[in-house]
Each structure stands twice: as C-alpha cells, then as structure tokens.
Amino acid sequence: MSEIPGLAHRRAAAVAQGVGGKNIFAARAENAELWDVDGRRYIDFAAGIAVNNTGHRHPKVMAAVMAQAEAFTHTCFHVAPYESYVRLCERLNGLVDTGEENRALCLTTGVEAVENAVKIARAATGRSAVIAFTGAFHGRTMMGMALTGKVKPYKAGFGPFPSEIYHAPFPNELLGVTVEDALRGLDEILTSDVDPQRVAALIVEPVQGEGGFNVAPPEFLKALRALCDRHGIVMIADEVQAGMGRTGKMLAIEHSGVKPDLVALAKGIAGGFPLSAVVGKARIVNAPHPGGLGGTYGGNPLAVAAANAVLDVIEEEGLLARATAIGETITARLTALAARSGHEAIGDVRGLGAMVAYELVTDRSTKAAAPELTGRIVEEAEARGLILLSCGTRANVVRLLPPLTIPDAVLAEGLDLMEAAIEAALPLQRDAA
C-alpha cells in the first residue's frame, strides 16, 4: 500500500497551504536519481531548483560535511570565526571577476544575498532607489518581492512593498521586446520616474530563472554596465540560479564579458546545504559599518565545508565543460522535437549551458501562452518517473536543470521520458482546442 496518500493528508493538516509542493515524498537520492517513500525511482531534472549542481549527496561533499560535523556545527561567525569561512571567501573573491579587488560575506538564502547586496549598494552610494526588471525573481521577503517582476504566485496579496523600486522591460525575443525596446523603457524610468542620482543599484539576472530562462543578450548587459558607470549606479548580478557552473561558466554574466560590481550567489554553491554569498568590489562591499552585515546562521560551518568541496568538485570533474555538453544534448533534442510536424506548441527553445527551457504556445503566430499544456507535460513526466519544473511569467515554460554530474545514460533516459510526456500531452491539447 502506498504511503503517499497518508503523507499528503498529514501535510494538508499540518503544513501551511501557502507552501506549495509536488506529491513526491522523497526517501533517498543519489546523483541525478531520487526514490520516493514507496520506492519509486525518479530521474531528477530539477536538482532542487538548481541547488544540486554536483548531484544529490556527492561523496566529496558528504565527506567534507561529516568531517566538519565531527569538529563543530555552529559557533556563529560573529562569536567565534573559523578558517573555512575565510577560505571560502578567498576562493569566491578569486572566482568573481569585477575588475577590482574583492570582498565577500556568507549568508544563508538567495534572497538574503539579494537584500544584503541592496544594503551594501545603498551604504556605498548614499542613495535609495533600485531598478529591477520585468520577469525577474529575487526572492520572497518583502524586498525580494518588491524587486520581483512576476505577480503570481509571488506578489499577489502580500503588499504593500518597500518603496523606490522600479521595473524596466527585459528583452524577450519571442514576444518582440528588443534590446532597444528594453533600453528605451529603462531610459523612460530615469527620465519620468526617478533621478539617476537617486538610484543606488540596478539588479539583473543574466538568465532569468522563474521568469522563463530568458537570456539577457550580451549587448543589453553591456549597455547596462555603461549606464551604471555613467550614473554611479552599483550593478548587481543575481546569479542565484544561473551561477556556480550551471551555464558552462562559473557565472552566467561571464558569457557577456561584463564585469558586475556585486554578485549574489546561492543555490548550487553548497551542494544542497543552505548557504549564500555576496561577492564584489572591496570598495563597495566594505562600505557598511562593522556589525551592519551578517546573521546568526550566515556561513554555517557545515554549509561552508560543503561549499569548499563543491568548488573542488567543479574544478576536478570539469563541470563547466560538462554543463556545456549537457546543454548541447538537451537543446538538440528539443530543437528536433520542435521541428516535427504536430509539435508547433513548442514555440521556443532557449537557454545557456545546462539551463535550458522550452516555451509552450497555442499558436506560433500569436505566441498565445499554453499554461494548461505546460502543466500536463509536467504531470505526464512525473507519471513516467521524471521530475520537471515549470516557470515563466505566463506559466507556460518547462525548464530543465539536471545535475551537472548526471551520467549520459541517465540524461538520455530522462530526455526519452520527457519526449514521451510531450507526446502524451499534445493530443489532449489538440482535443481541448
């Protein structure tokens, strides 16, 4: 007898309904595979939302955490600092190219990194306004939601939000929003809504995550860099989902050649343990007074040990090149599927490295969104033993985030399951039409 109905009932009776979740109750996981409480195997193309880039329970990560647990699990870095935190900051400072000497701090969650980046920018500039972009996702705190450019499910019903947050258009080739359109919209904000001399920071995802894996064109990022330089605005790259090797480079912004002032990191940084970081130019990061940054759990010793091991694994196992290879395999399969007769619902295939998505439409001419089809594909995939995630401001994008350590055979099996899910869902879409 399945344990899942009973667990689902207990969840409904005990857990806040606002905490969404699939009906997959995990029992164990290894690399790119997960088994539920009934013993059913799944191939994991979610990786904990780009957290397990080095796979579930990578042996080197687990060994580092167990060794740290034998020493101590918590002191609070403010109370009794430890060498591993310092070493991780040294390594992150060396990995992030801002063009200047860097400093870093460790925190716990992605949105905490984002909020601290904003705090640092405000302290460094003496300004208060922040510019973000449509389709952005920067977290679920009040500031995170204010910066986020997607209403449902993140912002609906939770306002009012912090003031002096402005949203500029983000380029979207599928929907006809060009780089020129986006820059024109940004210029209108700086002309009509806020004095550039009041803007502390501009925060951008080089690849939008929840927004639908929209890749920022290099010329767009270069124009943002020039604008920030012109007005003394701090440029923050939110690399929470796209960073740590996911796109084939350590940071997604590296593909453009643009050097940010500050970078927010999280998710894949610690192989499944809660950790985030802000890394950036020393003259900016050092602006807040001592005691103005940090937190009780920020840079937890177990998570820091995991992060140092993750950096080792990325280098030793060549995971940047592996991310590129995985992305090429996925993109080739999706592009071939989209070219087949009867598969016109696949309106776009896009991404960078092993951060790939496809957008589903009811009509390629009108680009009308197909969120129902998107949901059916995710459900059909789960029924076949494949974990997929949807995203997009129109809820019509399926994103693929397999661990960068996934074996070729498991990747191929997962893509076969995804194709079968699409084939099963498409007739239902046609019948509904």
Q: Tens of pLDDT along 115-127? A: 999 999 999 999 9
pLDDT of the residue at 114:
98
Task: State whether 295 and 384 are in the same domain.
Answer: no
How many CB atoms sit inside 10 A of residue 81's CB? 12
Evaluate if residue 12 carries a pLDDT over 60. yes
Q: How confident is the model at residue 429 (pLDDT cuts 50, 70, 90)?
A: low
Number of domains in the chain: 2
Query: What is the structure's pLDDT at 4?
Result: 95
Is 76's pLDDT higher than 60? yes
Mean pLDDT, residues 348-360 taken together: 98
Let me know whether 126 and 216 are in one domain: yes
Mean pLDDT of 78-99: 98
126 and 66 in a single domain? The answer is yes
- Residue 400 domain boundaries: 4-57+318-432
Residues 280 and 365 in one domain: no
Angle at the Cα of 377 from the Cα atoms of 249 and 391, rounded to 5 degrees: 45
Query: At 31, which CATH number?
Result: 3.90.1150.10
Q: What is the pLDDT of residue 287?
A: 98
pLDDT at 50 over 70: yes
Q: Are 361 and 433 in contact (CB under 8 A)?
A: no
Which residue among 262, 295, 316 closes a domain? 316
3-state secondary structure the chain: CCCHHHHHHHHHHHCCCCCCCCCCCEEEEEECEEEECCCCEEEECCHHHHCCCCCECCHHHHHHHHHHHHHCCCCCCCCCCCHHHHHHHHHHHHHCCCCCCEEEEEECCHHHHHHHHHHHHHHHHCCCEEEEECCCCCCCCHHHHHHCCCCCCCCCCCCCCCCCEEEECCCECCCCECHHHHHHHHHHHHHHCCCHHHEEEEEECCECCCCCCCECCHHHHHHHHHHHHHHCCEEEEECCCCCCCCCCCCCHHHHHCCCCCEEEECHHHHCCCCCEEEEEEHHHHCCCCCCCCCCCCCCCHHHHHHHHHHHHHHHHCCHHHHHHHHHHHHHHHHHHHHHCCCCCCEEEEEEECCEEEEEEECCCCCCCECHHHHHHHHHHHHHHCEECEEECCCCCEEEECCCCCCCHHHHHHHHHHHHHHHHHHHHHHHHHC
Whether residue 322 is found in the same domain as residue 309: no
- Are 299 and 153 found together in one domain? yes
Q: Is the pLDDT of residue 152 over 90?
A: no
Q: Are residues 196 and 79 in the same domain?
A: yes
Assign 233 a pLDDT band (cuts: 50, 70, 90).
Answer: very high
CATH code, domain carrying 231: 3.40.640.10
Banded model confidence at residue 430, pLDDT cuts 50, 70, 90: low
| The dihedral formed by the CA atoms of 175, 178, 184 and 185, expressed in degrees to the nearest 10 | 30
Q: Are residues 326 and 224 in the same domain?
A: no
Flag whether pLDDT at 16 surpasses 60.
yes
Is there a single domain that holds both residue 43 and residue 100? Answer: no
Q: For 385-422, how does the pLDDT look when each residue is reduced to its tens digit (9 = 90+)?
A: 999 999 999 999 999 999 999 999 999 999 999 999 99
User: Does 166 score more than 70 pLDDT?
Assistant: yes
Could you tell me if 301 and 354 lie in one domain?
Answer: no
Average pLDDT of the chain, as a whole number: 96
Confidence of residue 428 (pLDDT cuts 50, 70, 90): low
pLDDT of residue 427: 79
Are 171 and 77 members of one domain? yes
pLDDT at 431: 57
Question: What is the pLDDT confidence band of residue 284, given thresholds at 50, 70 and 90?
Answer: very high
Q: What is the mean pLDDT of residues 130-144?
A: 97
pLDDT at 433 over 60: no
User: What's the pLDDT score for residue 3?
Assistant: 96
Query: Alpha-carbon torsion 378, 379, 382, 384, what sign?
Result: negative
The residue out of 296, 316, 336 marking a domain boundary is 316
Which of 272, 296, 316 is the C-terminal boundary of a domain? 316
pLDDT computed for residue 23 by the predictor: 92
Can you give the pLDDT at residue 101? 98
Lowest-pLDDT choice from 34-38, 149-153, 413-417? 149-153
The answer to whether 368 and 433 are in contact (CB under 8 A) is no
Please tell me whether residues 405 and 277 are part of one structural domain: no
Question: What's the pLDDT score for residue 329?
Answer: 98
